[in-house]
Amino acid sequence: MPSKPPQASLPPWGNALAGATGAVMANAIVYPLDIVKTRLQVQVKRRTTDLAPLTTNDAHYTSALDAIRKIVDDEGVLGLYSGINGSLIGVASTNFAYFYWYSVVRTLYITSQSLAKPPNTATELSLGAVAGAIAQVFTIPVSVVTTRQQTQPKGDKKGLIDTGREVVNSEDGWTGLWRGLKASLVLVVNPAITYGAYQRLKEFFFPGKTNLRPWESFFLGAASKALATLATQPLIVAKVGLQSRPPPAREGKRFDSFIEVMSYIIEHEGPLALFKGIAPQITKGILVQGLLMMTKERMEILFIVLFAYLRKIRSERLQKIQKVAEAAASKAKEVLPFDQAQAAMPALIK
């Protein structure tokens, strides 16, 4: 018999808060990998015939370890945490919105269809895609600003607000905050694949189990994210190219679509370059998703206990108020004659 999903024990906002908390904690731990994979994905290898550098940074990275070493040498250890404030705000808002709408959409679907068992894989993917699309529309501006911060050269570092102003003051205007929206909407298949695979793998490896152990949650989260990342890496690379500054070789001309970014990368580096940064991307994804799901499972249990405690306190307070009211009514009957007490009741009620 299929297990009841843990989301059903929490209201949508409680499930969203648990997911956002887990995502922030996980991303804070592995943030340097986020910087590295972004720097690797935004650079384009320079050929001998190129007159201008093809990357927004002076340094060219040959691998993830090379990127870490050069970033630390050039910017210090803090360089590995450039843009972390905006990133964590984006992570919190994106995951809160995603888990909220995923919980709402999934619950509404199961209720409307009167399902006795969890939705099939295709339905899970569709529900995840709908939730992801709704979340992206509201949260992509933070993603744009964070990506721009992560790819700023050493001498041009700006804070979250100033970077946002830079985006708005560019030729795109306010719409620049939604650059890469189309690619992001296409990329909703990533969380859709991730959480759809998570549900399927959970039923396969741990059938009938409601509460998973930390290592079980980590394993499922990591495996599902690895599958999703391999399937969507070219789109992830294209999205980074859309949201970052254009390479100097383009003389300030921005990319208009993720197809144009992909064509540019293939022209200069070949098709395999669409998977550049895959090592830190998949490592970060595995660690983040594993930690997220492990933390989220624990946070859900914590919130369930907290809500039960709050309901208990509320119930006890209501009982106390009821007892005080009954005691007051009983005392009034003893002090006043029955007719006077009966006549005074409407006034007391008012």
Nearest in space to 191 (alpha carbons), one of 153, 155, 139, 147: 139
Task: State the average pLDDT over residues 126-133.
Answer: 78
Q: Per residue in 233-281, pLDDT tens?
A: 888 888 888 877 777 777 767 787 778 888 888 888 888 888 888 888 8
d(CA 175, CA 187): 19
What confidence category does residue 347 fall into, taking pLDDT thresholds of 50, 70 and 90? low
Q: Per residue in 190-231, pLDDT tens?
A: 777 777 788 788 888 888 787 778 788 888 878 888 888 888
pLDDT given at position 221: 79
Contact between 308 and 300 (Cβ < 8 Å): no
Min mean pLDDT across 32-36, 57-61, 79-83, 135-139 is at 57-61
Task: State the average pLDDT over residues 144-171.
Answer: 79
pLDDT given at position 2: 34
Min mean pLDDT across 30-39, 54-63, 294-303 is at 54-63
Question: How many CB atoms sit inside 10 A of residue 135's CB?
Answer: 24
Residues 323, 327, 330: CA angle, nearest 5 degrees:
140
d(CA 275, CA 242): 16
Task: State the average pLDDT over residues 151-178.
Answer: 78
| Mean pLDDT over each residue of the chain, to the nearest integer | 77
- Does residue 121 register a pLDDT over 50? yes
- Does residue 329 register a pLDDT over 80? no
Task: State the average pLDDT over residues 106-119.
Answer: 75
